[in-house]
Chain A
């Protein structure tokens, strides 16, 4: 059974370079450019991994305004705390963070949400691929 991965990033081209190589490894890749799209996809399918950006606009989650600087971490917090209706099953989905945010406080708050890996942009291409594949294969 093939693995499935969801990339959440407001810039598609920021994560799209990973798609081809991952697909070649029999990994299904989906993409959401904001929280609401991500929620919609998470409701439809079960993912083995989410690769999540932290800072993206617009900062809304289900019509609720959130700080764009922390849009990703807010979304993850809501998923972990089962605050999103019909999304209880995704509460413990494994998450990698891929972000250009360097603020220590923000990163720490993300770390507290049980993320498996934090990549800081610019992240080495091979490193990201290797870690994703290794994680999904084990």
Chain B
């Protein structure tokens, strides 16, 4: 019986055997054989194929083929038949070999058996020792009689050590089982065994695929299983399994499994060789490797993958499982945060409260939140009032929002607690005003308190009715989103408060300017008329010392009134920091000279000379607020003149320290105790030192204002007072002291 005569079955089997040299090779073989094997829907088909081949190749008729289940150590019924069978018996329905212990004993014996005559079977120990019932009753014998079988070869199908089945080759004519016939049968048996084993493995593999798919499907994150092959010397990862999330991530329909089988290189912009290297060198796992994957539309989707080896052979990683974390949401969060941070800058530069509101809602809309409202606390009425809303329903709501702080309304609760509230179901929230919520059609919202320096100034409501995806989706993403919104609310609060401050400052500045104007005008009129009077008198009566003296005094008093008024006005500002500074480049010597000039006459009368040294003039121009510095030096010179002894000099010197300048105003006169060095710049406490040392008469505000203005320039002001007389009694009484006020100013206060 030449091989060539029976080509078909042999070829399949030989092909299978040839191509399946190892377990992994077999798996590859089966996937490669693809259609051929895949067309066989079950083990029965391949068994039938084998049985038919046996019938054809070995001329056996009929062939009975059993599968053997290693796990249960039993032959698996029903057997497969090939060849011609006695008509009228449906062997598929009537299981002939139920309880065929004979067959089982052959399998257990593990040896091929050859029976040339029926008698040999009947007398075989496996047959006789079992069951005491009449021989014709034994299923096997009955089968032989019914089918007229004479010779039988029982072949144990063994693949390696594993028994996979048992095949009876029956003959209705007497056979002589020669050695060569036996050899052929043995070879066939081993081929058949290998084929069955491989098919089983394939099935098992198919089962494990399904198992893996079930697991993969249960993972909520996108999962890809790749099969890796070396093609043209390069390792290619092919995606061969993916779950619903993975399909969704890449924009594919789960049922279509469009991208499966694609080279991962086409989808991942990751260096697979590098990743493979990492897998090999490490413990077979790589965690959180950020890569970009392309979706169906060719767009980049950022993911982070954790990869583990599923299978490997001697040389390659043949299979990996990649669990991806969708970074899109993280990127969205990042973008949102980035966007809102940029919006914050715009907010801080807003020119008005209205513009700030516009900026807030424009930017919230840009990141997808286009409904909401800002309400602010009205301190006088103790209510929370809707200030600005966006989105039609919310605008209606704005005009109705006037919530007493004492009420139990959700808005009042948030303002009072200072804690944000996420309300996912307004209709069932006991603190939501149901009528308003219903009218405005609001189902969900996030209410964030607006807090500035621990004070809640209002609340920002963000409508989330249309954001069910967000609310029902990933909790972590929701929380991160809320955090970002709450962070933005902080900036909103600061911006609103600074706008309100600005309005207050503007009002105050206006009031001060008006008040100043109202004071200065009569002072001017007074001094101008005095001037005219003096001129008139001199014209009429000639030069008169007395007239000049009176005129001088009135003039000086007018200036003094002006100075005091300025101090009073400045301090009237609730907080002097609120005063905006107007830094401009200027020559400080001009300002100082202007101030010194006003005191020169008064000083001269007591023999005091105010000397502005050249070192002041040599100071380079720098940025300072002229109005403020004028007041600082007016106050310092005023102070020096007041406490200087007669016939002493007041010295004003300058020093350039690079990034800073130092200006000192020095007088010799009444001293300042060291313990008062600090306090003299604060609110003046008269009682303690008024008798012995210098104190500031009038408003007592001069130095306080000087300090505030110097601080506005981010500068420093301090005093040093040292005795220059060696008389202990005088030192005790703070007489004969050189007192120097130092003002240190940065050349660019904006840079500090």
A interface vs B, CB < 8 Å? 11, 13-18, 20-21, 24, 55, 69, 100-105, 120-126, 128-129
A125–B525 touching, CB < 8 Å: no
Q: How many Å from the CB of B261 to the closest CB on chain A?
A: 73
In addition to A100-B520, A123-B528, 7 A-B residue pairs with Cβ atoms within 8 Å of each other are A16-B532, A69-B513, A100-B521, A102-B513, A102-B627, A104-B625, A125-B531
Question: Which of B304-312, B555-563, B722-730 contacts its partner?
Answer: B555-563
| A125 to B129 CA separation, bound complex (whole angstroms) | 148
- A69-B513, A122-B559, A124-B555 in contact; A11/B521 too (CB < 8 A)? yes
A122–B535 touching, CB < 8 Å: no
A14–B521 touching, CB < 8 Å: yes
B517–A20 touching, CB < 8 Å: no
Can you list, as one digit per residue, whether each of B497-530 has a CB less than 8 Å from chain A (1) or not (0)?
0000000000001000110110111011111111
B524–A121 touching, CB < 8 Å: yes
The answer, among A13, A100, A105, for a CB contact under 8 Å with B517, is A100
Closest to B534 in A: A125
- A residues in contact with B531, CB < 8 Å: 17, 125-126, 129
A122–B558 touching, CB < 8 Å: yes
- A residues in contact with B530, CB < 8 Å: 125
Q: B538-569: which have CB < 8 Å to A?
A: 539, 555, 558-559, 562
Residue of A18, A123, A125 most packed against chain B (CB within 10 A): A125
| A24 to B513 CA separation, bound complex (whole angstroms) | 36
Q: How many Å from the CB of A136 to the closest CB on chain B?
A: 17
- B residues in contact with A17, CB < 8 Å: 525, 528-529, 531-533
- B residues in contact with A102, CB < 8 Å: 513, 516, 520, 627
Q: How many Å from the CB of B381 to the closest CB on chain A?
A: 32
Number of inter-chain CB pairs below 8 Å: 76
* Chain A interface SS verdict (over half): helix
| A99 to B651 CA separation, bound complex (whole angstroms) | 31
| A123 to B520 CA separation, bound complex (whole angstroms) | 10
| A21 to B532 CA separation, bound complex (whole angstroms) | 7
- A residues in contact with B523, CB < 8 Å: 121-122
A122–B527 touching, CB < 8 Å: yes
| A17 to B524 CA separation, bound complex (whole angstroms) | 11
Closest to B598 in A: A124
A13–B625 touching, CB < 8 Å: no
- A residues in contact with B524, CB < 8 Å: 14, 100, 121-123
Residue of A24, A69, A104 most packed against chain B (CB within 10 A): A104
| A123 to B558 CA separation, bound complex (whole angstroms) | 10
The answer, among A69, A104, A105, A125, for a CB contact under 8 Å with B528, is A125
- A20-B536, A101-B517 in contact; A125/B527 too (CB < 8 A)? yes
- State whether the Cβ of B626 lies closer than 8 Å to any Cβ in chain A: yes
| A132 to B24 CA separation, bound complex (whole angstroms) | 110
| A123 to B524 CA separation, bound complex (whole angstroms) | 6
B535–A15 touching, CB < 8 Å: no
- State whether the Cβ of B699 lies closer than 8 Å to any Cβ in chain A: no
| A55 to B527 CA separation, bound complex (whole angstroms) | 19
- A20-B536, A104-B582, A122-B523 in contact; A14/B528 too (CB < 8 A)? yes
